[in-house]
Structure 1
């Protein structure tokens, strides 16, 4: 049980975000992949994802062992709108930060697996680990990311409505059955045997929903100036999950219409892979070829492109989403 103690300043600094991003959700999905719960909502996805795993994915088991705390790659990578954004942050983390996470891991498991030990000093080991996680992401999460993201955005909107109608009390009281608000303390039951007392000291709390994580999780660093973080399970029933797993237009038909590479690019953009470089790496196509294909898709009215931080971002239009048989909201035009 975690007990999070609020001051009036903390209550004024409660915020709500839809997601920590695709890397965090990919890592959260490992818990659902390993477990047996949620068969109605996750069973079909779990069987497909497991079928694609082999010995190359051993690091995933090391990151999330069967018992005890995991290696907190979510915290080390941080939030990101794209997988690559979180990946770059992990690559840049200090030796001390990674060692601290491994020391905590070793304290609870007795040792650090060899596939994790090299992450402290070797940039190549970090890149190799990220490549494995990204490969799993592309196979298990990326095909559904646009719908997952839309579901989490809708979850945030629901929480915003509760906040407007019932205030912070109503918001904190309605997050999850395992989260109980007894002012001025938020009680979070997450399976930990030893209680933890957390004081926010006026820095506030960020509430973030998760699609795959089905147990509330507190992430807190007293050295962090931005406050604590509570990841709570988004509302999800079998019908909503079935809509997420729906694949839309058959890939072969779309490839016949647009060409295989352009169909793959449009699909990836709709799944949230927006940068030219990330598209090139994800699809194993040169950046020059990506630029040529996106120009054709843009002229056809299937995507829009805008400059962002020295690069470009591509987003599907409503026509592009309709072609993919998706019902997501298109990104606003630049």
Structure 2
């Protein structure tokens, strides 16, 4: 086999256990976007977005950037292995990282670059430092990711629809062979060109989770620790631009003419999935009114609703994201 490659070795059980994430993972998008903010030259595709983010980056976000250098290693614990589509859930996973994992990952980072006193306290699991990690990650995400999340989701949803068609026509091996130009499926091994890594990952029945990513741009990537749940992040095509994403109020104006002002606000509010009662709080409306708006949006195919016990959760569909992201400012 060729050198300088990342090689995933599959068994027949692994092929049966390939999964594709249902949407972008906010923890990976947060970390990978931070790599681009730290990149002095940056990728041309993200230049305008990076300029907007850097222009008024809050000071509280800087410690997070210290943990996510543009080249080399970033701590695995910043992207919990289970994966998520919700930032709050993902952040909980980060903050409850076992102390041994904190120590191992931050020792690896400090072998690559000098780390701050705060990072040393974090390595030692000090409560104040862990609280600071939550604060700095939230500050960065709120500034650099959350305002653009609708468009990130829309771009990833387009990629997921393409993957679904490939899966239907060519099966799992067709998906694996079409992930990215740097990826070759040479059964039973998935080979990925990687000038900085030469590694074999034996899946051994664990399967592989595929995660399409907006901010993954140089090459597909995975955890540094091969013992973690196997995952492969791969870049999507960037047909949706983040720059010029309309502010919420501007985005609702044309939608209001189509859906009505409150219903347009409900659609915008569901950029972050929530329950019916959560939607009511965001709209400042009654529970019955929120339920009615959700029903209309669901029947129009703009949201999907999932019932669990006595609670119903709502999230945008690809059509809903597409409608929001294409709405002119």
Q: Is TM (by shorter chain) over 0.5?
A: yes
- Which moves more between the two structures, 242-251 or 47-56? 242-251
Is 2:288 the counterpart of 1:293? no
Q: Secondary structure at the match of 1:4?
A: strand
Count residues in correspondence: 304
Counterpart CA distance in 1 for 2:11 and 2:88 is 37
Q: Specify whether residues 327 and 130 from structure 1 end up closer, same or farther in structure 2 by C-alpha distance, changes over 3 A only.
A: same
In structure 2, the residue matched to 1:258 is none
- Are the counterparts in 2 of residues 249 and 325 from structure 1 also a CA contact under 8 Å? no
Counterpart CA distance in 1 for 2:172 and 2:57 is 43
Counterpart CA distance in 1 for 2:76 and 2:193 is 19
- Are the counterparts in 2 of residues 12 and 204 from structure 1 also a CA contact under 8 Å? yes
Is 2:209 the counterpart of 1:206? yes
Counterpart CA distance in 2 for 1:168 and 1:77 is 22
The structural deviation recorded for 1:58 is: 2.2
Under a length normalisation based on structure 1, what TM-score does the superposition of the two structures give?
Answer: 0.75
In structure 2, which of residues 17, 20, 38 is the aligned counterpart of residue 16 of structure 1? Answer: 20
What stretches of structure 1 of length at least 5 have no aligned partner?
255-261, 280-288, 329-334
Counterpart CA distance in 1 for 2:60 and 2:99 is 25
The structural deviation recorded for 1:185 is: 1.5
In structure 2, the residue matched to 1:257 is none
Q: Specify whether residues 52 and 235 from structure 1 end up closer, same or farther in structure 2 by C-alpha distance, changes over 3 A only.
A: same
In structure 2, the residue matched to 1:272 is 272
- Are the counterparts in 2 of residues 269 and 316 from structure 1 also a CA contact under 8 Å? no
Matches within 5 A, 1:124-139: 124-139=128-143
Matches within 5 A, 1:153-302: 153-192=157-196, 194-214=197-217, 215-219=219-223, 221-224=225-228, 227-237=229-239, 240-241=240-241, 245-247=245-247, 249-250=249-250, 269-272=269-272, 274=274, 290=281, 293-295=284-286, 298-299=289-290, 302=293
- Are the counterparts in 2 of residues 216 and 231 from structure 1 also a CA contact under 8 Å? yes
The structural deviation recorded for 1:85 is: 0.5
Counterpart CA distance in 2 for 1:55 and 1:292 is 31
Under a length normalisation based on structure 2, what TM-score does the superposition of the two structures give?
Answer: 0.76
Q: Specify whether residues 79 and 247 from structure 1 end up closer, same or farther in structure 2 by C-alpha distance, changes over 3 A only.
A: same
- Are the counterparts in 2 of residues 72 and 101 from structure 1 also a CA contact under 8 Å? yes
The structural deviation recorded for 1:123 is: 2.8
In structure 2, which of residues 49, 52, 55 is the aligned counterpart of residue 45 of structure 1? Answer: 49
Counterpart CA distance in 2 for 1:108 and 1:307 is 47
In structure 1, which of residues 125, 129, 151 is the aligned counterpart of residue 155 of structure 2? Answer: 151
The structural deviation recorded for 1:61 is: 2.5
What stretches of structure 2 of length at least 5 have no aligned partner?
255-261, 296-304
Task: Please report the RMSD computed on the Cα atoms of aligned residues, expressed in angstroms.
Answer: 3.9
- Are the counterparts in 2 of residues 32 and 213 from structure 1 also a CA contact under 8 Å? no
Counterpart CA distance in 2 for 1:268 and 1:122 is 39
Q: Secondary structure at the match of 2:79?
A: helix
Counterpart CA distance in 2 for 1:152 and 1:182 is 26
